Structure 1
Amino acid sequence: MKYCPHCATPLNDTLIEGEIRSACAGHDCGFIHFNNPTPVVAMIVELEGGVVMAHNVSWPEKFYSIITGFLEAGEDPLECAKRETLEELNLHAQTAELLGVYGFPQQNQVIIAYHIQAHGEIKLNEELDDYKIIPPEKLKGWNMGTGLAINDWLAKRAKP
């Protein structure tokens, strides 16, 4: 954001409460752009046989991840998880369980993660171009973003 959305004055870097923020230089405006993180919903979608890992058309060739989508204004995160599962994979959620909430500062996002038990036949939308079904015992997370949700889900499954 380069200009104030209220008065169109250029924004300047300004020290506010110990943080550098983009703020309106207009004397009467007072707009401050806080650049708050964007809420993202992530789903570990499980079918018979394993977890769906998908490849987004804009990602590097060998990178697959769980399903994600942006939370719409006024949308409940659980409903978003079900909607994105249907939109991206053509799968219907049978059950949904909140796994946790994870900061993803690398993308300025907050991830709200669910485990979804789903049914149906996978048909990818235009955002995805490939998928794999990974048995849970072969699934491995990573140490940031959606990988943290995978790690927590695997740890939860391992407990008796």
Structure 2
Amino acid sequence: MTFELVELPSLSRFTVDRSEPLRGDAERLRAGWPQAKVLVIDRKGRAKVGGRGKLLVRRPAPEFGDTPPDDAVFLGEEEGVAHWAVPLADDETDVSAPATRGRSWFGGELGEEPEWLDLRAVGALLDDTGAGLFTSAVALFHWHRSARFCAVCGGATRSVKAGWARECSACGREEYPRTDAAVICLVHDGADRVLLARGEGWPEGRYSVLAGFVEAGESLESCVGREVLEEVGVRVSDIRYLGSQPWPFPRSLMVAFHAVADPGTPLAPADGEIAEAKWVERSVVAKALAAPGSVPDLLLAPGASIAYRMIQSWVAAGG
């Protein structure tokens, strides 16, 4: 059997024009600053979210000064409005704008007090614009925190190009945000069973599909075959691409596939990686998706993950 994702993964949505040429145009960026909107991200990767529709709270740029702060990152433009993000300082625990508190910067009134939420918790609930801005901001700030020194000479680096590069103060080398490729694969039997696994350290009953990082010199398809064999001891065939999703924890790009395996092959969960693995009938997975907690010992991946969308799509393909 074959199938496609029924919807874009939650964190793959993005409506704002990234406007790459603008990143080096300081004059234009300053000119657009007075009308810009700013997303604030704290040290835990959380943003303020509120409202019945879980709207991402953004603040008017002038609250942060007459020009973009040195640590601000430019996320793009939409309908002539620039979108930026700034990191919350280490010694700050909250940011609130008394004159504007209680309003969503999409224009509607919030129906509840905004609260700090992380991307895993709220990514699937945000609209397309909010999900894309939040995902990009979290990915960039993770990178900035890990790239403060030059990988060549060890010199201190500073943010340049509106947050999309860092320049070494000693040798002048520029470094750009890194993305680590990882594969994630839904293994099925070609009919009505799917192979699910529980990682070491996961809560009891939490299951998902298999995933792993791509190694140097390895193709995506080769990585799928290797990771599944290493993690559960089965060989796969008919590897098919499904889609991709950024996963900025801290900087992965999850590339999704599905593949076929023989359910008669004994499972051999990898010590230290996989606590349990099992084949599950489509009807059981469908019930677990429809009513989380209704199937004992089967809690599935959360909605913000591409794993959720993969499992949902496989269930839907069975009619």
* Aligned-residue offset at 1:87: 0.8
Q: How does 1:80-119 map to 2 (within 5 A)?
A: 80-119=223-262
C-alpha distance in structure 2 between counterparts of 1:84 and 1:150, whole Å: 18
Cα RMSD between the aligned structures? Answer: 2.3
In structure 2, the residue matched to 1:151 is 312
The offset of 1:106, in angstroms, is 4.6
The answer for the alignment partner of 2:31 in structure 1 is none
Structure number with higher helix proportion: 2
Tell me which of 7, 22, 25 is aligned to 2:169: 25
Instruction: State the TM-score, normalizing by the size of structure 1.
Output: 0.81
Alignment size in residue pairs: 154
Q: CA contact under 8 A between 1:49 and 1:133: conserved in structure 2?
A: no
The residue identity in structure 1 corresponding to 2:258 is H
Change in Cα spacing, 1:77 to 1:94, as seen in structure 2 (3 Å) is same
- Percent of aligned positions that are identical: 23
Q: Which has the larger radius of gyration?
A: 2
Are the aligned partners of 1:102 and 1:148 in contact in 2 as well (CA < 8 Å)?
Answer: no
1:121 equivalent in structure 2: 266
Higher relative strand content: 1
Find the aligned partners of 2:316 and 2:194 in 1 and give their Cα distance.
Answer: 15
Q: Does 1:79 align with 2:222?
A: yes
**Structure 1 CA distance for aligned equivalents of residues 155 and 226 of structure 2:** 39
Residues 1:106 and 1:145: Cα distance change in structure 2 (over 3 Å): farther
Deviation at 1:21, TM superposition (A): 4.5
What is the letter of the counterpart of residue 124 of structure 1? P
1-structure distance, mates of 2:243, 2:155: 40
What SS class does the counterpart of residue 83 from structure 1 fall into?
helix
* Structure 1: segments with no counterpart, 5+ residues: none
Partner secondary structure for residue 80 of structure 1:
helix
CA change 1:149–1:49 in 2 (3 A) is closer
CA shift for structure 1 position 103: 2.5
Structure 1 equivalent of residue 188 of structure 2: 46
SS of aligned partner of 2:309:
helix
